[in-house]
Amino acid sequence: MPSTHAQAPPPRLELPLTRYAWFFDFDGTLAELQARPDRVSLPAARKGLLRRLQAASGGAVAILTGRSLEDLQPLIAPLRLPCAGMHGLQLHIADRTRMAATARLPYTVLARLQDLAECHPGVLLENKGECAAALHYRQAPHHASALEAAMQALLPTCNGYELLHGKCVLELRPASASKGTALRLLMRNTPFKDRIPLCVGDDRTDEDGFAAAQALGGIGIKIGTGATQGQWRLADPSALQHWLHQQLEAATHAAAPVSATAAPPASTI
Ligand SMILES: [Mg+2]
């Protein structure tokens, strides 16, 4: 169960960056949340940091997102990274995309979700290739309970699906996939294999990633407020950017010749 004990920012990483496998959520973690998901973008400085991390870690950087991969990839371009989309339903590695399940939402359910979006001003439907669908209500939070009740009522007609509660989003998604299963799958592949997984995320579905990372001896870093089972916490995507920059700078300096006057290292993990 999530706990709230993780309040401190992560200290400096103890081992070389090539010893870790890096897993990042996208919205609310690498990129700031916006009123509409189609207005989210990744600042150029963060793309630059991810590119540096990709090089410094030997390519062991992946994105675990609730977005579909078709939606995500233009947002991270020109970077090409292993990714899990739709909370683990899609997996893209070594230029191949695979699906964890072939489930489809009944068209009657998709039609009902479309009706709900049209009847509740400010609510947006995100249809993820008919495998999953989400209603976003960040612009109309007063509709949250009505939308949740309506989507709960649809669940019995969606065999094998569950209702996910995210930050101002409700989603019907196949229950067989999660960010945890995606992380475990990626960890079986080069270059992630035999490394320490480090998972960073801001929302409830990231808790599955934290649990999987920590079960493999790794690290979970929660972004923002809220209960979590991650061991460490950073305030927002800007704080993550700063911390990543520090890790890359420390790695660069560690690779440089040692100065006789170098300060002793701060606490590490
Ligand atoms: Mg997120």
pTM of the predicted structure, to 2 decimals: 0.87
Domain end call among 120, 144, 174: 174
- Give the 3-state secondary structure of 107-135: HHHHHHHHHHHHHCCCCEEEEECCCEEEE
pLDDT tens digits for range 221-231: 999 999 999 99
- CATH assignment of the domain containing 139: 3.30.70.1020
Q: Give pLDDT tens digits for 78-131.
A: 999 999 999 998 999 988 888 877 788 999 999 999 999 999 999 999 998 889
| Domain match, 95 and 202 both | yes
CA of 42 to the centre of ligand 1 (A): 13
Tell whether 5 is covered by a domain: no
The answer to whether residues 192 and 146 belong to one domain is no
Ligand 1 centroid vs 257 CA: distance in angstroms?
Answer: 39
Residues 90 and 130 in one domain: no
- Distance from the CA of 27 to the center of ligand 1, in angstroms? 4
What pLDDT digit, counting tens, does each position of 34-86 carry?
989 999 999 999 999 999 999 999 999 999 999 999 999 999 999 999 999 99
- Domain extent for 191: 18-100+177-249
What is the CA(119)–ligand 1 centre distance, in A? Answer: 26
Residue 57 CA, ligand 1 centroid: distance in Å: 23
Place of tokens 């890790």: 247
Tell me which residues are annotated as active site. 25
Choose the final residue of a domain: 174, 204, 228. Answer: 174
